[in-house]
Chains A and B, each alone.
Chain A
Amino acid sequence: MAAAAAGAGAGAGTAQEKQFPPALLSFFIYNPRFGPREGEEENKILFYYPNEVEKNEKIRNVGLCEAIVQFTRTFSPSKPAKSLHTQKNRQFFNEPEDNFWMVMVVRNPIIEKQSKDGKPIVEYQEEELLDKVYSSVLQQCYSMYKLFNGTFLRAMEDGGVKLLKERLEKFFHRYLQTLHLQSCDLLDIFGGISFFPLDKMTYLKIQSFINRMEESLSVVKYTAFLYNDQLIWSGLEQDDMRILYKYLTTSLFPRHIEPELAGRDSPIRTEMPGNLQHYGRFLTGPLNLNDPEAKCRFPRIFVNTDDTYEALHLIVYKAMSAAVCFMIDASIQPTLDFCRRLDSIVGPQLTVLASDICEQFNINKRISGSEKEPQFKFIYFNHMNLAEKSTIHMRKTPSLSLTSVHPDLMKILGDINSDFARVDEDEEIIVKAMSDYWVVGKKSDQRELYVILNQKNANLIEVNEEVKKLCATQFNNIFFLD
């Protein structure tokens, strides 16, 4: 339920406007059970950003959120409030574990205009932000925390509030800096996974490689395989893979792009004369296997937290464009010997496999003739396997998700998505946007497709025909109703 507060009218733009994108105002986590009595309210707060805020204000803000959630519960007991709209900002609430609340406050985008007398007039654009986008961002914050730290409850069991606070501080202090609220969009709602298209034979070769590696490195519990930052195989369950994929593609891989661009003569490589026959290297863990002092520390991740609650070491190893994640039980500490053995077994085979995939991919591309850019911009998402495909986004930098279309169009996509979420039935929505743009949203079973067309003087029938054509070429092998 969205509680809307009083709004102000939107003004027409003038020549000298300055725009400010949405920004993170505050972010806090609290548990009302921890300070139920008066005077103990501070105990409720587990994490607060920005930390510089005065104590009483923190308490007030937390209290306000608590009150809003409590109050709105009266109207909708089963679905507590998700967000609060105000003129200047929007607050998002999330209760990922019982009584643990996460709140994110985002400032609405601002347009600063010059009035006739030269004074700046600030105008908040309170209808710009999409609830679902930022609610999803908030949920992702929790998922990411949980991936590396386990659940809040587990931290409480392990070391009480003190440990939980330490973990939250350590994680969110850095993580919040990487939230780029100005470039969040539909894809954040989906939290999808881009799958690498591959022919059956090459896929089976990868299966065979993974099974062999798991056999020879017997401690490996799960394996994931990616190529070109796209997923090919996940031994992890879907939800765990979803967040791990997010971490790999938006954080770990981009951090390692630079040494790769520097080429094979990078310092890391020249120090390893023993490995000249392959291009494998660790993205997590030891940098230089020849250094006897090399540290074999791997990130620890937590998976299946509702069920078996497993702690694992995440070993990410890459050769050319192929990356493998080996996950081993956290109780086993990988030694340098193990890393060397892994390198000597996996390195050569992965190098060969990577070039096989590359070659096969190029052949397939030539056959299908999909080399030319599709004439449409579209986003596709399948809720069942989280498969996502976008020709709108060019995610190349870690800091920013670049889109090739106007933010207004992205907002229409978000609105259509919200419409789809309201009903179960298959639907189709066609929107005529500004300057010859048409936006089409289609939902068939669990799949959603958003198309942006730019055709001069096109009418509804023509647009419909174009989308049909697109479906026939791009999605002919799935059951996608016209």
Chain B
Amino acid sequence: MGEEDYYLELCERPVQFEKANPVNCVFFDEANKQVFAVRSGGATGVVVKGPDDRNPISFRMEDKGEVKCIKFSLENKILAVQRTSKTVDFSNFIPDSSQLEYTQECKTKNAHILGFCWTSSTEIVFITDQGIEFYQVLPEKRSLKLLKSQNINVNWYMYCPESAVILLSTTVLGNVLQPFYFRAGTMTKLPKFEIELPAAPKSTKLNFSERDIAMAIIYGQLYVLFLRHHSRTSNSTGAEVVLYHLPREGACKKMHILKLNRTGKFALNVVDNLVVVHHQDTETSVIFDIKLRGEFDGTVTFHHPVLPARSIQPYQIPVAGPAPVTSQSPVPCKLYSSSWIVFQPDIIISASQGYLWNLQVKLQPIVNLLPDKGRLMDFLLQRKECKMVILSVCSQMLSESDRATLPVLATVFDKLNHEYKKYLDAEQSYTMEMPHKFVIAVLMEYIRSLNQFQIAVQHYLHELVIKTLVQHNLFYMLHQFLQYHVLSDSKPLACLLLSLESFYPPAHQLSLDMLKRLSTANDEIVEVLLSKHQVLAALRFIRGIGGHDNISARKFLDAAKQTEDNMLFYTIFRFFEQRNQRLRGNPNFTPGEHCEEHVAFFKQVFGEQALMRPTTF
């Protein structure tokens, strides 16, 4: 397979940490996406690495027993460490505050702490087998304050930091899920819901594991993803992923079913609003897009993989050691290894190799894997980094070798413009009220910047400047901008100025000046002058630039007649008689010039004898 075939890849710069081994325990915190490497219970050092901070935090802590769980609060303010099943220890990482540890025991008697989650920089939730306890940490007092608690039997829990929702597995079977939502010191209980288990549950013991559940935000909505190994319907084989929509208000609802058409061990990720399902047995992955059209049966929508299954792109592990010494080629990384652990939304950790990757979608290869261009557009338009790819698809459809048919092009255009229209509508509703002074200052700053880099300023920017100034009657400012050529000369701009004449008479002069400077707008100048009945000025202008042999006599005579100034008409008439004489040796107008009406008028006003006589030689 060529590189162009893989549509999933591991990020280029993974977070690297010390491999897990008997003396080095590795923990991952989903909220901060940090990896903790705890050596000898912390006595010989703890190293914390996140995806964004390339500078790891390292510190030491006293070895007070085996660490079960370790997490920083948001913004790395407070460290929480669980070493026993009853207590959690805290230490402050706030500058200038005591680093002495303080401890909190869970309130419920005989309860065992399953784990804890930070919901803010100072708020923490303990999940015990008998319920949850919501605390506020007071670092300066080195103590915790219970905000709220709830008693409920818990099998296991799951936390989605992006939505601040904790999901508890309750009941004997474990398939009744109770979500809680946390926000700024409050804990809200959301409606619980039941996951339909495959086949008839004969057993009465817990057979529903957190391994088959994931929570993720897809297209802005929180979903609970359930990996159902055996379809409930007997006629279809293979596993499926059931998506339950968990709204902030209202009941949880089953919405989508992703058909995997295979069985075995799976893992889930969500990348760029796509559900990625990894299959360990075949070492391949498939992706699902719930926005693409599926089969709707009246309650749920069934989806099939968007693309054929493909492996994640092979990955080379850079060889450790000082670069100049080792010149060995990089070692290929074992993909879909059984030591991989997958976290939401897009994290893959190999504890044995000491890597944390983000999974990424490569759009360019998909172009060739998805022959249906309409579906391809639907898919691409929902992706983050789609613009360049969409452009390449468009240009490909026009290229000789891959030319698309007109109906396909039409479909693609409709899809593009459907999105564009949404954008335009959104933009329209986003009309900010800004003081015009600020608007103009911003535009000037932008035009200055464009000029500085010698980029041509588009007409619409000039139009916006003019529109804003005109709306606020700031004509004198406009005049000054034009005087210093801040608004570059162009025919459209000159026409815009002409249209402003009735509000601001000097716009006429500004427009004429601009047309003159353009030097390609002589016809327009003549039209402007004639429309203002400046017939003589128009004639003088066209003569000045040497174009008077090619102008239409009729046009000038019409304009002259309209002024109802007989002397002016006489002058113009005579001018053309002389031109006729010079060009053709005869002062008479030819029939093609259509000046009969004007000749008649001339005779009527000045008499037949006033006509110029042909010069005879």
Given A235-B477, A385-B479: A204 in contact with B513 (beta carbons within 8 A): no
- Which residue of B451, B476, B477, B510 contacts A204 across the interface (Cβ within 8 Å)? B451
Nearest B-chain residue to A382, judged by Cβ: B509
List of A residues within 8 angstroms of B479 by Cβ: 384-385
| Per-position 1/0 for B463-489, Cβ under 8 A of A | 000000000000011011001111000
Q: Is the CB of A200 within 8 A of B506?
A: no
Q: Select A201's contact among B452, B476, B505, beta carbons within 8 Å.
A: B452
> CB within 8 Å of B: which of A428-447?
445-447
Given known contacts A211-B441, A233-B480, A385-B483, A479 and B448 CB-to-CB distance under 8 angstroms: no
- Which one of B437, B486, B516, B541 lies within 8 Å of A203 (CB-CB)? B486
A235 cross-chain contacts in B, Cβ below 8 A: 477
**CB <8 Å contact, A477 and B537:** no
Q: A211-B445, A482-B544 are in contact. Are A198 and B509 (CB under 8 A)?
A: no
In the bound complex, residues from chain A placing their C-beta under 8 Å from that of B441 are: 211, 214-215
Using Cβ atoms and an 8 Å threshold, which residues of chain B touch A481?
537, 540-541, 544
Contacts of A115 in B (CB 8 A): none
- Asked if residues A238 and B540 are in contact (CB atoms below 8 Å), the reply is no
Q: A234-B476, A477-B516 are in contact. Are A204 and B483 (CB under 8 A)?
A: no
Interface residue from A204, A215, A241, A477 paired with B444 (Cβ < 8 Å)? A204
Interface check B257, CB cutoff 8 A? no
Answer yes or no: A208 CB below 8 A from chain B CBs.
yes
List the B side residues contacting A15 at CB < 8 Å. Answer: none
Q: A384 touching B509 by the CB < 8 A rule?
A: yes
Give Cα distance in the complex from A21 to B483, angstroms.
Answer: 39
Given the interface pairs A235-B477, A237-B476, the reply to whether A200 lies near B486 with Cβ below 8 Å is yes
Whether A208 lies near B506 (C-beta < 8 A) is no
Decide yes or no whether B525 CB sits under 8 A from chain A: yes
Inter-chain contacts of B477 with A (CB < 8 A): 235
Q: Give chain A residues whose Cβ lies under 8 Å from the Cβ of B440.
A: 211
> Contacts of B505 on A, CB cut-off 8 Å?
384
B472 to chain A, nearest CB (A): 12
Interface residues as binary, A225-237 with B (CB distance below 8 Å gives 1, 0 otherwise): 0000000111101
**Min CB distance, A209 to chain B, in Å?**
10
Is B517's beta carbon under 8 Å from chain A?
yes
- 8 Å CB contacts to A: which residues of B390-446? 437, 440-441, 444-445
**When the two chains form their complex, are residues A445 and B486 in contact, meaning their CB atoms are under 8 A apart?**
no
Contact assessment for A207 and B516 in the assembled complex, using a CB-CB cutoff below 8 Å:
no
Docked-complex contact A204 and B506, CB < 8 angstroms: no
> What's the Cα separation between A81 and B311 when bound, in Å?
99
Contact A214 B483 (CB under 8 A): no
Closest to A236 in B: B476
- Least distance between B512 CB and chain A CB atoms (Å): 4
- Name the A residues within 8 Å of B506 (CB-CB): 384-385, 446
Q: Is B447 on the interface with A (CB-CB < 8 A)? A: yes
Which residue on A lies nearest to B511, using beta carbons?
A479
What residue of chain A has the Cβ atom nearest to residue B532's Cβ?
Answer: A445
> Knowing A214-B437, A214-B441 touch, does A479 contact B483 (C-beta < 8 A)?
no
Q: Is A392 an interface residue (CB 8 A)?
A: no
How many A-B contacts are there with CB distance less than 8 Å?
A: 74
**Quick one: given A198-B484, A207-B448, A234-B476, are A479 and B525 in contact (CB under 8 Å)?**
yes
CA distance A200 to B509 in the complex (A): 20
In the assembled complex, the Cα of A204 lies from the Cα of B441 at a distance in Å of: 11
Residues on the A chain within 8 Å of B437, using CB: 214
Q: Interface 1/0s, chain A 181-222, versus B by CB < 8 A?
A: 000000000000001001011011101100100110000000
- Which of chain B's residues have a CB closer than 8 A to the CB of A387? 483
Check B448–A478 contact: CB distance below 8 A. no
Q: List residues of chain B with CB within 8 A of the CB of A426.
A: 534, 537
| Residue B515, interface by CB 8 Å | yes
Closest to B485 in A: A200
Q: Which of A205, A234, A238 contacts B448, CB < 8 Å?
A: A205
A201→B447 CA distance, assembly (Å): 10
Smallest distance from the beta carbon of A81 to chain B beta carbons, Å? 29
Which B338-377 residues have C-beta < 8 A from chain A? none
| Distance from A336 Cβ to chain B, minimum over Cβ atoms (Å) | 28
Residue numbers in B under 8 Å from A233 (CB-CB): 480
Chain A proximity of B479: nearest CB distance (Å): 6
Chain B residues with CB under 8 Å of A382's CB are 509
Of chain B, the residue at the smallest CB distance from A196 is: B484
Report Cα–Cα, A234/B517, bound state, in Å: 25
The CA-CA distance from A446 to B507 in the complex, in Å, is: 12
Residues of B within 8 A of A232 (CB): 484
Bound Cα distance from A205 to B451, whole angstroms: 10
Report chain A residues within 8 Å CB of B517: 477
Does the CB pair A479–B480 fall under 8 Å?
A: no
CB pair B451–A482 under 8 Å, yes or no, is: no
From residue B444, how far is it (CB to closest CB) to chain A in Å? 5
CA of A395 to CA of B43, assembled, Å: 86
Contact A200 B513 (CB under 8 A): no
Report the separation of the CA atoms of residues A304 and B537 in the bound assembly, to the nearest whole angstrom. 37
Residue of B nearest to A239 (CB): B476
With both beta carbons as reference points, the residue of chain A lying nearest to B442 in the complex is identified as: A211
Considering the complex, which residues of chain A in the window 167-185 have a beta carbon less than 8 Å from any beta carbon of chain B?
A: none
B515 surroundings in chain A (CB, below 8 A): 479
CB distance from B522 to the nearest CB of A (A): 11
Find chain B residues with CB under 8 A from A446 CB: 506, 509
Closest chain B residue, CB of each to CB of A445: B509
Which residues from chain A contact B544 at a C-beta distance below 8 Å?
Answer: 481-482
Specify which chain B residues have a CB less than 8 angstroms from the CB of A214 in the assembled complex.
437, 441
B525 to A204, Cβ gap below 8 A?
no
With A200-B486, A204-B448, A235-B477 in contact, do A477 and B540 touch (Cβ < 8 Å)?
no
A23 and B564 alpha carbons, distance in the complex (Å): 49
CA of A211 to CA of B540 in the docked complex: distance in angstroms? 44
Contact of B512 (CB < 8 Å), options: A204, A205, A385, A445: A445
Please, how many angstroms separate the alpha-carbon atoms of A11 and B509 in the complex? Answer: 47
- In the complex, A237→B478 CA distance in Å? 11
Q: Closest residue of chain A to B540, judged by CB?
A: A481
Which residue of A235, A426, A479 has the most chain B CB atoms within 10 A of its CB atom?
Answer: A479
Q: Are A211 and B509 in contact (CB under 8 A)?
A: no
**Given A214-B441, A385-B479, A482-B540 contact (CB < 8 Å):** yes
CA–CA, A207 and B448, complex, Å: 9
A195 in contact with B512 (CB, 8 Å) = no
Q: Which of B445, B509, B541 has the most CB of A within 10 A?
A: B509
Within the assembled complex, what's the spacing in Å between the Cα atoms of A234 and B480?
8
Complex CA–CA separation, A387 to B509 (angstroms) = 13
Q: CA–CA, A482 to B542, complex, Å?
A: 11
Within the complex, the shortest CB–CB distance from B416 to chain A, in Å, comes to 36
A-side contacts of B447, CB under 8 Å: 204
A481 CA to B534 CA in the complex, in Å? 12
CB nearest neighbor in B for A482? B544
Closest A residue by C-beta to B509: A384
With both beta carbons as reference points, the residue of chain A lying nearest to B473 in the complex is identified as A237
CB-CB under 8 A from A445, the residues of chain B are 508-509, 512
A241 surroundings in chain B (CB, below 8 A) = 476
Q: Kindly list chain B residues whose C-beta atoms are within 8 Å of the C-beta of A208.
A: 444-445, 448
Query: Which residues, 231 to 286 on A, are CB-close (under 8 Å) to B?
Result: 232-235, 237-238, 241
Are A204's CB and B486's CB within 8 A?
Answer: yes
Give A214 to B484 CA distance when docked, in angstroms. 21
Question: Whole-angstrom distance between the alpha carbons of A9 and B541 in the complex?
Answer: 46
CA distance A322 to B486 in the complex (A): 20
Nearest chain B residue, comparing its CB with the CB of A384? B506
Residue of A nearest to B444 (CB): A207
User: Digit string of A466-482 for contact with B (CB within 8 Å is 1, else 0)?
Assistant: 00000000000111011
- CB pair A479 B512 closer than 8 Å: yes
Given contacts A208-B445, A208-B448, 7 further A-B contacts (CB under 8 A): A200-B486, A385-B483, A387-B483, A445-B509, A477-B516, A478-B516, A481-B541
9 contacts between A and B (CB under 8 A): A200-B484, A207-B448, A211-B440, A211-B444, A214-B441, A234-B476, A385-B506, A479-B512, A482-B544
| B interface list, Cβ under 8 A from A | 437, 440-441, 444-445, 447-448, 451-452, 476-477, 479-480, 483-486, 505-506, 508-510, 512-513, 515-517, 525, 534, 537, 540-541, 544
